[in-house]
Amino acid sequence: MESKVRQFIQRHHLFTKGATIVIGVSGGPDSMALLHCLYAMKEDWDLRIIALTVDHQLRGEESLADLTYVKQICQQWQIEFIGTSVNVPAWKQENKQGTQMAARTLRYAVFQEQMEKLEADYLALGHHGDDQIETMVMRLIRAADSQSFKGIPVKRAFAGGTIVRPLLCVTKDEIWNYCQANHISPRLDPSNEETVYMRNYVRHHILPLLKEKNNSLHTTVQHLSETITDDQTYLLAEAKKMVASVVCFEPEKRQLSFEIRTFKTYAFALQRRAYHLILNYLYVDVPNDLSYVHEEQFFAFIHRQMGNAQIDFPEGLKVEKSYDQIRCYFHDDLNGSSSFHKFVVIPGKTILPDGSVMHAEFVDTLYEQTKYSLSFSADQVALPLHIRTRKNGDKMRVAGLNGRKKVKDIFIDAKVPRHKRATWPIVTDNDGEILWLVGLRKAALARPRMNTSQIQLYFEKGNK
């Protein structure tokens, strides 16, 4: 086994000579075999190794005896030892977490603290090949996305160093044989036999059946995990580029939007990963009840031919489709979206809530007109002018049309996204006559007359 582990370490460049390695040691067969294996390599690699044991206070005197056992072995082998206790039962109750999750949370907090304190390069953990199979099977049962099938990583960044798992190349049977050959009598945790936990059920009922068909299944699964990890790393990097190029973020509002047409030009593999990146951006913690069903809804939604629609995601997240635009926002955050009504200062500037500015002045010579400017004779309208958001039933006289047209219909014809309509700036005179849907439509006003006072409006869009 030691030879296998050495080759695995070298092939994956798990650590370098002269490194400081903290080893998570529970006293069980996996971690004791790992401790002994790295102890055997200590001189060849010029390693400083420290055994770190965490008593979770879950089995009373038994779990304390595990810590004492590891401490005694370390004294015997002349290995540095650190032992500590964490109160999992209290944490579990206070934070409403399951036993396994609470234990993991506190254990990794200790790992991080000691890694930083010791300025260690690596944290070595005793996950083995059978653990990898169990993890992949469990994720197949619980999930339906390729990201889940990366399995247990061989190494990953942690606490300024790297977590490494040198035993992923060997099976549980090989570990037991190694312990016997080296006269190691590991401690046993009875909870590992309780099939109430999903992992234990897979271990005792499913894994033996799989290994009947392929006794080297751990090697096959490890190869699969590494291949998927390599592919996922590349695809994720490409998806991040896609999101940066396509998605418009509004971090202060926890909102974002993108153009469907552009989003769909990318390969579907990238679209799917972009979807998950978007969710990770929007949610502080991705909710447990978010599943592949929501993913299917999302993609059916953006490929469906319809003008305006909305779907609901967990925790109040809304995904809104308006023509070729998708907008994601949280319902509670939208309650603050503001209407406004201001007088237009002439001459001067009128600043709107989103930072946009309406410039107004009296002029003798008219500027060239654009969709963001409007000119008229002062005696054509009732002053003062107002700039506001829309009201129910708003209508205006549109140049080139007889009669009035509903502002709502103008927005629809122009395919203005629904979320923009509520805050779209509208200029009216003091009688309420709509003169200008800024940047969109102008009222049917007579051409400014010579020798009369002229008003020039110019709209400067804000960045909010």
Where residue 415 falls (left for φ over 0; alpha for ψ -120 to 50; beta otherwise) is left
Calpha distance 105→96 (Å, rounded): 12
| Annotated binding-site residue? 225 | no
Instruction: Find the helix or strand (DSSP H, E) in which 11 lies.
Output: helix 2-11
Angle at 451 between CA 446 and CA 455, to 5 degrees: 55
Please give the sequence-ordered ranges of beta strands (E in DSSP) within 192-261, or none if there are none.
248-250, 255-259
| Annotated binding-site residue? 26 | yes
Among candidates 141, 168, 154, which has minimal Cα distance to 233?
Answer: 154
Angle at 290 between CA 284 and CA 295, to 5 degrees: 110
CB under 8 Å, gap of 24 or more: what pairs does 76-79 form?
A: 77/36, 77/39, 79/35, 79/39, 79/49, 79/50, 79/51
Cis check for the bond before 251: say yes or no (omega within 30 of 0).
no
| Annotated binding-site residue? 30 | yes
Q: Is 27 helix (H, G, I), strand (E, B) or coil?
A: coil
Token digits of residue 98: 């399951």
Q: Is 170 helix (H, G, I), strand (E, B) or coil?
A: coil
**CA 261, 263, 266, 271 torsion: positive or negative?**
negative
The alpha helices in 96-215, defined as continuous H runs, are 99-118, 129-142, 172-181, 198-201, 207-213
Calpha distance 73→54 (Å, rounded): 15
Determine whether 22 is exposed, middle or buried from the number of CB atoms within 10 Å of its CB (0-12, 13-18, 19+): buried
Residues 453/363, Cβ–Cβ less than 8 Å: no
Dihedral angle at the C-alpha atoms of 414, 415, 416, 421, nearest 10 degrees? 90
| Annotated binding-site residue? 373 | no
Annotation: binding site for ATP? 26-31
Annotated binding site: which residue ranges?
A: 26-31
